[in-house]
Amino acid sequence: MSAEISIFDLFLEASLLVQFVMLVLLSFSIACWTMIFQRQKALKAAQVQLKTFEDKFWSGADLSKLYSEISARGHISGIENLFVAGFKEFARLRKSHLSTPQIIVDGSHRAMRVALSREVDDLEMHLPFMATVGSISPYIGLFGTVWGIMNSFIALGAVEQATLAMVAPGIAEALIATAMGLFAAIPAVMAFNRFSHNVEKLENSYGNFMEEFSSILQRQSIVPTSAGT
């Protein structure tokens, strides 16, 4: 067999099971890279939106006008979703004469907590799949390698005179599976760690805003004539 044989040739000469393992790993890799680019774009957009909204919010914008402006867009996500959920519940409870300031603030805080949970779920989309690919791909590749080497040695035992040239191609075919397992796993693990860190930072920023906004709503619930309500 030529020493310049290509990886594609090794794939074609591998057993059906090893070929199946390679195709599975290739599918994992393609899916992971697609999700990596999608998550990178989504998290970057969430970070930009966070900064833009906080700049506008802390500039002293009228809360009622800010709420109307955001609500009019239709599609709301990220920190804006927390603001809209909290202010909407605040306005609804404040119209009720039976609601005390503490009830109003607690209700707004719960509404923002629910919105926060949903936003974190959206930010973490596809991360479990990346973690799964990163953890199991090396083992799937190793399984294909073990199977391929086993078949090579079985075939080697059927001949009277064994040489390295006879067993080397089969082992090379099998080792491709391990390489593909690592090729799928390494980017998945790196992306999972990076995106998890970014999601955690965004969640902390959302949580800090939620507490600060609750303090503002508490002050406004005590003073009915306060501006911005």
Q: Is residue 217 part of a domain?
A: yes
Q: Mean pLDDT over residues 146-168, rounded? A: 69
Would residue 63 count as lying in a domain?
yes
| C-alpha gyration radius of the chain | 28
Backbone angles phi, psi at 163, to 5 degrees: -130, 160
For the chain, percent of residues with pLDDT exceeding 70: 83
At 102 the pLDDT is 87
Asked, for residue 67, whether it belongs to a domain, the answer is yes
Query: Between 173 and 80, where is the model more confident?
Result: 80
pLDDT averaged over every residue in the chain:
85
Residue 47 has pLDDT above 90, yes or no: yes
**Look-up: residue for tokens 């082992």?**
171
Would residue 228 count as lying in a domain? no
Q: What percent of the chain has pLDDT over 90?
A: 53
Which one is predicted more confidently, 46 or 11?
46
- Is pTM beyond 0.85 here? no
Helix-helix angle 79-94:164-222, to 10 degrees: 30
CA 15 – CA 199 distance, rounded (Å)? 42
What is the band of 188 on the pLDDT scale with cuts at 50, 70, 90? Answer: very high
* CA 82/CA 84 separation, integer angstroms: 6
Look at residue 223 in the predicted model and tell me its pLDDT: 62
Which residue type is seen at 122? D
Alpha-carbon distance 152 to 177, whole Å? 14
More confident residue, 35 or 77: 35
Q: Quote the CA–CA distance of 89 and 111 in Å, as a whole number.
A: 7
- Domain of residue 88: give its range: 7-222
Condensed to tens digits (0 to 9), the pLDDT of residues 73-113 reads 878 889 999 999 999 999 888 887 667 888 888 999 999 99
In one-letter notation, the amino acid at residue 80 is: E
> Is residue 27, in this structure, part of any structural domain at all?
yes
Question: What was the pLDDT predicted at 19?
Answer: 85
Angle between helices 16-57 and 127-157 (to 10 degrees): 160
Question: Is residue 1 a part of any domain in this protein?
Answer: no
Position 161 scores a pLDDT of 63
Cα separation, 228 vs 85, whole angstroms:
16
> 2 in a domain, yes or no?
no
- Structurally, the chain folds into a number of domains equal to 1
pLDDT beyond 70 at 3: no
Residue 197, in any domain of the structure: yes
Residue 166: the pLDDT is 62
